[in-house]
Chain A
Amino acid sequence: MALSIPLSLLVLWEVFSQTSILSPRYFPPPTLVAATLTRLLAGGDLWGETLVTLNRLAIAFVLAAAPGVPAGLAMGLFRPVRYAIEPYLALLYPLPKIALLPLLLIVLGVGEKAFILTGAISAFFQIVISTLGGVQTMDPRLLEVGRNYGARGIALFRKVILPATLPAILTGLRLGLGLALIAVIAVEFVTAKSGLGHLVFRYWQMLLTAEMFAAFVLVGLIGLAFTRGLRALQRRTLAWKEEIGWQ
């Protein structure tokens, strides 16, 4: 029942494409796309490109999260730090980070470093902003509880501030990962000569549409797996929260 709309869309597409109402040259029938996807996966090429993309994503994410969470916490807890960093945040947070790609290509040369760093920077600012927001919107009474019941310094941070901020941190990490994926795919689409983003681009240029759609579907499945996995992780870590909503 829940899958009826997507399924009927697929069936419509299949019929339209088979009967050439929709040009099969540009919109190959879903069955052909599925067959192509299986063939490409069996051939092994697609796995290689997938790994390249996932590898870039993983490094970019770690490069963003490792300094991003502490930076956000420090900004939230220490006012001078916030004042020092805030102006850059205000200017760079709304900047579409993909625009930094040419600069990074010039400075670091055309290669992995520049590709990955574009993804890392994309995620970094989101993680900082979310973490900072978490500290700032923390219920001040919980801090009073901590102090009145003898939690000081590190203990106050570990027992009160960190758990209170954790939902926001996890949200930031999840959004950051999404942004890093967007950036990495965009970089691959625009300039890199490998990865799933590049594959879609290359198949597009060669008008291998069945292959293009197969790669496209694969990206969708990876995205879906990430979203579902992270949501499950967030549910488990935050079992104490009443609900996490649709995000």
Chain B
Amino acid sequence: MSWIAVASPLLLLVGWEIASATGLLRAVFFPRPTTVAEHFLRLVVDGSLPHHGGVTVMRVAWTVLLATPPAVAVGLAMGISRRTREGLDPLFAVIYPIPSVLFLPLISFLLRSAEAALVVTGAITPFFLVAYTTMTGVQQLDRTVLEAATHYGARGWRLFLKVLLPGTLPFIFTGLRLGLGYALIVLIAVEMVSARDGLGALLWLSWGILKVEEMYAALVAIALLGAFLTWGLGLLRARLLPWVEDVAGTAR
């Protein structure tokens, strides 16, 4: 029955192609998939897609690098100490629901570099998500495993490295996976308003000058980037954490 999974998108693409070619769909708005593919290829060959794509990928990487270490630290602290949790909770409760695009002005007052402001804005939601999932991870750790670990001589640093971190790692990963999705939304949006390069900027600029085919090409590139990130993270998880199943249900 899985032939449907192949046939259904194929049918859509062929239908679209025919509809645009025959004028059933207005080709100005809905260029034929083959035309989009041509433009996509051209943009790859002339280097602009690799350039903009590379810039966005670098920004995504920076948001992850900026968000994860402090988030894991805060999450562990909140998981271990009840007072830290209760102290930070109201702060988190107010800040977390604010769509992080709105942090851009505030952060650009703080940081002179536009690039840094952009990346930090993207890092806000992943920070909260990873902190929360890490905290949940610590809280769900089996008390008897902790007892057994201390009983067999794992204390302090060793307890952290050998028990606490591996035990919460699946949760950290879940936070990262969810956080990456949100980071991508914010980065693309912020690139649209205030950047000259990156896939969001390419998308927005080609709309501005009504280069519809290039806009589609940029859209396809963003979709591919999103799918690639999901897939890559899944792969990484399977490599790093072969002993666990996904814990998405516990997150958010």
In the complex they form, whether A and B have CB atoms below 8 Å apart is answered with yes
The chain A residues found within 8 Å of chain B, CB to CB, are 1-6, 9, 23, 26-27, 79-80, 83-88, 90-103, 105-107, 122, 133, 137, 171, 175, 178, 181-183, 185-186, 189-190, 197, 200-201, 204, 209, 212-213, 216, 219-221, 223-224, 226-227, 245-247
Query: Given the complex, which residues of A lie within 8 Å of B109, measured CB to CB?
Result: 23, 26-27, 209
Do B1 and A91 touch (CB < 8 A)? no
Query: Given the complex, which residues of B lie within 8 Å of A90, measured CB to CB?
Result: 227
Q: Which of B2, B99, B200, B222 contacts A185 (CB 8 A)?
A: B99
Q: How large is the interface on B (under 10, 10 to 19, 20 to 34, 35 or more residues)?
A: 35 or more
Total A-B Cβ pairs within 8 A: 168
- Given A83-B1, A219-B99, A227-B96, 19 extra CB contacts under 8 A: A2-B90, A4-B87, A6-B91, A6-B94, A23-B109, A84-B5, A94-B229, A95-B222, A95-B227, A96-B184, A98-B188, A98-B189, A98-B192, A99-B188, A103-B215, A185-B99, A186-B186, A216-B102, A220-B94
The answer to whether residues A182 and B99 also contact, given A27-B109, A79-B1, A88-B9 and a CB cut-off of 8 A, is: yes
Query: Given the complex, which residues of B lie within 8 Å of A86, measured CB to CB?
Result: 5
Asked if B116 is an interface residue, CB under 8 A from chain A, the answer is no
B residues 121-172 touching A (CB-CB < 8 Å): 132, 135-136
Do A220 and B230 touch (CB < 8 A)? no
| 3 smallest beta-carbon distances between A and B, as pairs | A223-B97, A94-B226, A102-B207
Q: List 27 A-B contacts (CB under 8 A).
A: A2-B89, A2-B90, A5-B88, A79-B1, A84-B8, A85-B8, A87-B5, A90-B227, A91-B227, A94-B229, A95-B222, A95-B227, A96-B181, A96-B189, A97-B185, A99-B200, A99-B223, A102-B203, A171-B252, A182-B182, A182-B185, A185-B101, A190-B193, A197-B99, A220-B94, A224-B93, A246-B136
